[in-house]
Amino acid sequence: MTTPRINVSARLLDLTRNLSSITELETYLHALLSAAKELTGSASASLLEYDETAKEFFFNSMLWFQGDQVRSARVPVQGSVAGWVFLYGKPVVIDDVATDKRHYKKIDELAGFTTKSILGVPVIVGERTIAVLEVFNKLEPYTNEDIWIAETISALIAASLQTNSLEKNIQATQDEARELEQMKNEFIAIASHELRTPLGLILGHATFLKELLNEADYQEQVDTIIRNATKLKEIIENLTSVDNYESGSALLKSRKVSVERIIEDVAISFSDMAKKKNIALRTETQPSQELLVDIDGGKIAIVLSNLVKNALTFTNEKGQVVIRGEQHPEYVKVTVQDNGIGIPTSDLNRIFDRFYQVESHLTRKHGGMGLGLSVAKVMVEMHGGRIWAESKEGEGSLFSFLLPVRKTQPLPQTPFKT
């Protein structure tokens, strides 16, 4: 009895559509085996998957026997129909199994079942056969159409097994990345905690010594100790401020603050650095606007300082850096623009990641730990704001951030992913 072609196509189409929404691989494979059985008019079907390590087959799915004995049975490559299909990579039809040596009789014995005829097709992924689909015991001989049906279903099996293995790989990679991130966070938390106490002592004692010393010679040495210990303290604070936010423990001390004031203060604090590099550092705000928002002024000053410091660091002599502030009805926008070295497009959405630096730390000329922008991002987002960068290599960069006037206010979409 042959199944009408229209039914075959409809059923195969249905199975193909379901491929994209598999949630349970086992159920889907079962549906495919049922279709293979019914559409070829066979008594049953099984899927034998090749185990690369053991170099033999195991039953991945079967319709005909649910007993553990057969479920856990193994089928060798030599002396089995599955092995033949696997080795030759093409379909096989055996109408009378009794007269063919390729059939592995042990499974029949285990299941108390007699295989009379078999159609086996390879399940191929890329160029590799990874499993064999078998349908068996059709009352009439298997036809070319049966082979075509079995091969179509085998292609769906290949796609579902492949998808499943890719999903498993993605899951494993994500788990691994999460674990590494966790280890990194723990390491940072422990290291910064352990460093803070001795550093506090160094700074405290060095400051005390500075007060005791009169001789100008020693003052310079002590100043160097204090300056560098303060630098280390800043690094540790940067590390922990990201960590604090992530663990949700950072508390904002928000009140109405003039962003215009912050812009001016930050510009003044960087004027020496700008002068040393012969860079024109300018601010542009509208005189009538104070840019008042409810923020933690200290944190936003850190954000702006990190952006300005980078702009000055990555801009060559005689360049220019402009800090702008704009009041909008729903938000305040601050930008830092430079005409420095710029950032390659491929790095643009990674620069806000913790420890990310465009240049390798082995070859880079500048200091830093790749923390400034991640700290800025965390701090802006703490305020319900958004930060992003636009840049062209060799022409300069434009860093922008928005601070909502009211924290619950949705902000306009930004052009770049951060």
Q: Which of 74, 370, 381, 407 binds ligand ADP (CB under 6 A)?
A: 370
Piece of the chain touching ligand ADP by CB under 6 A; list 106-114, 149-157, 256-264, 354-362: 354-362
What angle separates helix 216-246 from helix 144-212, to the nearest 10 degrees?
150
Nearest residue (CB) to ligand ADP, 235 versus 292: 235
Q: Is 232 in the site for ligand ADP (CB under 6 A)?
A: no
Q: Which of 357, 383, 387, 402 binds ligand ADP (CB under 6 A)?
A: 357
Q: Which of 47, 121, 338, 387 binds ligand ADP (CB under 6 A)?
A: 338
* DSSP per-residue letters across 153-185: HHHHHHHHHHHHHHHHHHHHHHHHHHHHHHHHH
HEC profile for 203-246?
HHHHHHHHHHCCCHHHHHHHHHHHHHHHHHHHHHHHHHHHHHHH
Smallest separation (angstroms) from ligand ADP to the CB of 368: 3
Nearest residue (CB) to ligand ADP, 112 versus 367: 367
Q: What does residue 354 show for φ and ψ, rounded to 5 degrees? A: -65, 135
Parallel, antiparallel or unpaired: strands 320-327 and 280-285: parallel
Q: Is 22 in the site for ligand ADP (CB under 6 A)?
A: no
Put the strands of the sheet holding 118-125 in their side by side order: 74-76, 56-62, 44-51, 128-136, 118-125, 92-94
Of 170, 248, 378, 189, nearest in space to 181 by CA: 189
Q: Is 372 in the site for ligand ADP (CB under 6 A)?
A: yes
Of 408, 147, 362, 382, nearest in space to 245 by CA: 382
User: Which amino acid, residue 275?
Assistant: K
Smallest separation (angstroms) from ligand ADP to the CB of 321: 9
- Of 110-149, binders to ligand ADP (CB under 6 A) are none
Q: Which of 152, 258, 310, 339 binds ligand ADP (CB under 6 A)?
A: 310
Nearest residue (CB) to ligand ADP, 113 versus 356: 356
> Coil, strand, or helix at residue 129?
strand
Q: Is 368 in the site for ligand ADP (CB under 6 A)?
A: yes
Parallel, antiparallel or unpaired: strands 255-258 and 280-285: unpaired
Count CA atoms within 13 Å of residue 31 on its CB side: 18
Smallest separation (angstroms) from ligand ADP to the CB of 229: 19
Q: Is 239 in the site for ligand ADP (CB under 6 A)?
A: no
Q: Which of 314, 331, 388, 401 binds ligand ADP (CB under 6 A)?
A: 314
Q: Which of 129, 137, 397, 400 binds ligand ADP (CB under 6 A)?
A: 397
Q: Is 341 in the site for ligand ADP (CB under 6 A)?
A: yes
Piece of the chain touching ligand ADP by CB under 6 A; list 30-38, 205-213, 270-278, 352-360: 352-360
Piece of the chain touching ligand ADP by CB under 6 A; list 66-74, 88-96, 108-116, 335-343: 335-343
What token pair was written down for 186?
A: 């723990």
Tokens 């086996």 belong to residue: 120
Q: Is 306 in the site for ligand ADP (CB under 6 A)?
A: yes
Q: Is 340 in the site for ligand ADP (CB under 6 A)?
A: yes
CB 372 within 8 A of CB 361: no
Piece of the chain touching ligand ADP by CB under 6 A; list 1-9, 278-286, 294-302, 355-363: 355-363
Q: Which residues bind ligand ADP (CB under 6 A)?
A: 306, 310-311, 314, 338, 340-343, 351, 356-359, 368-374, 397
